[in-house]
């Protein structure tokens, strides 16, 4: 299954939830937030939100800024 | 008037009563209240552009700020060993203020605000409740898009955010943002990162008057924070002399040759400006007015 992750194409082995995607990225404990198709997916919903073909996923964190 | 100004400082301070005229150190400033948030320091500092995190950490400490801004950006998926800024911020002491820097539409600003809130909720930081709203016009000026800012402000207020609005130095849009529910309006002194200080002091004064004077429909306790353009400590004094409640800056500290010393200077400047604004400065005059008495002079005075 192909998704777009942070602006890059990414091939997933099979069906995956947001939580499984974060686990595969090593970010399961990182302070981050996830959007799928420009909609926030709250942390509590990560284990149940299934990704679909062509989803645009953004994984963001906090950085220095003014 | 001087008595009244001193009395105000004494009354609004939680510290024990001290006589400001004989006190060896300045009395503490009253806290800055923005919506349901209370900050000890009226200086809010950014966390961007530092040469390293250790310098940032020391500069924040030297600034005395208890609120710092951060930005929301893509996780760097290829660089897993990259250290997080969060490891260098004392989150138990600081209120994090997430910004929407880099947003050019109201929709994007709302998205980014929600993402910032999501992360700060996970961290258990009180900053989850608020946002520094920036909707910018273009990359060259980084000046606010007033229409987009107003639109995003309304949406975020509806969504329960305490919204601090980065704005132009225009009293009309400032009042519109306040009316839309902004907890604070933050007029730009000059463009972000320009270091040009208060480019139009009259405009900043008009924004402050419009939002704080009862006769203009304002309220003395409505917080106005000058945000952006500060290049040096005297810019902060200037902003505070004009009646600002606080100042937000980043580049002026982060890109100084010695950021830690500059942070210390900015902290002192804020105190200096606060007291100056309440001390009642002398009027400007074209000609001199001698400080020593004429009576009893033993000299020849030209023309007399």
The string of pLDDT tens digits covering residues A7-31 is: 999 999 888 999 999 999 999 999 9
What is the CA B143 to chain-centroid distance, rounded? 17
Specify the residue for token string 């399961």.
A28
Helices B259-279 and B233-241, interaxial angle, to 10°? 20
Q: Which residues of B are catalytic?
A: 132
Contacts of A66 in chain B (CB under 8 A): 46-49, 69, 71, 99, 101, 192-193, 228, 248-251
CA distance B32 to B53: 27
pLDDT in tens, chain B (304 residues): 344 444 344 444 444 555 555 555 667 899 999 999 999 999 999 999 999 999 999 999 999 999 999 999 999 876 556 688 999 999 999 999 999 999 999 999 999 999 999 999 999 999 999 999 999 999 999 999 999 999 999 999 999 999 999 999 999 999 999 999 999 999 999 999 999 999 999 999 999 999 999 999 999 999 999 999 999 999 999 999 999 999 999 999 999 999 999 999 999 999 999 999 999 999 999 999 999 999 999 999 999 8
pTM: predicted TM-score of the whole model, two decimal places: 0.88
pLDDT in tens, B257-271: 999 999 999 999 999
Contact A32 B46 (CB under 8 A): no
Domains of chain B by start residue, with CATH = 42-74+84-277 (3.20.20.70)
Domain range annotation of chain A: 2-60
Q: What is the pLDDT of residue B19?
A: 57
Select from B266, B254, B253, B264 the least CA-distant residue to B61.
B264
Quick one: closest CA in B to A40, which residue? Answer: B115
CB contact under 8 A, B84 and A40: no
CATH topology of domain A2-60: Ubiquitin-like (UB roll) (3.10.20)
Q: How far apart are CA B144 and CA A51, in angstroms?
A: 36
CB within 8 Å: A61 and B73: yes
Provide the shortest C-alpha distance from residue B175 to chain A (in Å).
24
B79-138 pLDDT, tens digit per residue, is 556 688 999 999 999 999 999 999 999 999 999 999 999 999 999 999 999 999 999 999
Q: So what's the ipTM on this one?
A: 0.95
Closest partner residue to A31 among B111, B114, B122, by Cβ? Answer: B122
State which residue of chain B sits closest to A66, comparing Cα positions.
B46
CA distance B261 to B248: 17
| Structure confidence at residue B22 (pLDDT) | 59
B69 touches chain A (CB under 8 A): yes
**pLDDT value of position B26:** 63
Closest C-alpha to B212, from B181, B178, B189, B188: B178
**% of chain A residues with pLDDT over 90:** 92
Cα-Cα-Cα-Cα torsion B26, B186, B254, B142, nearest 10 degrees, comes to -160
B98:A62 CB<8 A: yes
């Amino acid at each position: 299954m192909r998704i777009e992750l942070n602006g890059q194409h990414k091939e997933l082995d099979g069906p995956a939830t947001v939580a499984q995607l974060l686990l595969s990225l090593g970010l399961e404990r990182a302070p981050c937030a996830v959007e799928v198709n420009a909609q926030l997916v709250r942390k509590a919903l990560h284990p149940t939100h299934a990704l679909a073909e062509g989803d645009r996923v953004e994984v963001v964190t906090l950085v220095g800024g003014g | 008037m001087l008595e009244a100004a001193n009395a105000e400082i004494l009354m609004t301070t939680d510290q024990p009563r001290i006589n400001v005229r004989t006190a060896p150190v300045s009395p503490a400033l009253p806290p800055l209240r923005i919506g349901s948030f209370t900050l000890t320091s009226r200086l809010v500092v950014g966390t961007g552009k530092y040469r390293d995190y250790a310098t940032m950490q020391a500069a924040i400490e030297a600034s005395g700020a208890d609120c710092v801004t951060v930005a929301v950006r893509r996780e760097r998926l290829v660089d897993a060993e990259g250290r997080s800024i969060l490891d260098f911020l004392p989150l138990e002491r600081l209120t994090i203020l997430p910004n929407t820097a880099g947003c050019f539409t109201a929709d994007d600003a709302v998205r980014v605000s929600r993402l910032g809130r999501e992360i700060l909720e996970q961290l258990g930081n009180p900053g989850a409740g608020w946002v520094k709203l920036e909707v910018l016009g273009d990359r060259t000026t980084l000046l606010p898009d007033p229409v987009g800012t107003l639109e995003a402000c309304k949406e975020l207020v509806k969504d329960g955010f305490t919204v601090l609005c980065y704005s132009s130095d225009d009293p009309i849009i400032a009042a519109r943002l306040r009316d839309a529910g902004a907890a604070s309006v933050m007029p730009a002194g000059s463009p972000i990162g320009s270091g040009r200080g208060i480019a139009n002091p009259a405009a900043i004064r008009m924004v402050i008057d419009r939002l704080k004077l009862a006769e203009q429909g304002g309220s003395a306790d409505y917080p106005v924070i000058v945000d952006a353009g500060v290049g040096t400590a005297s810019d902060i004094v200037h902003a505070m002399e004009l009646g600002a409640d606080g100042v937000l800056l980043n580049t002026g500290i982060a890109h100084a040759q010695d950021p830690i010393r500059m942070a210390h200077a900015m902290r002192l400047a804020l105190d200096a400006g606060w007291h100056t604004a309440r001390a009642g400065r002398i009027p400007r005059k074209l000609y001199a007015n001698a400080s020593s008495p004429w009576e009893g002079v033993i000299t020849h005075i030209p023309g007399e």
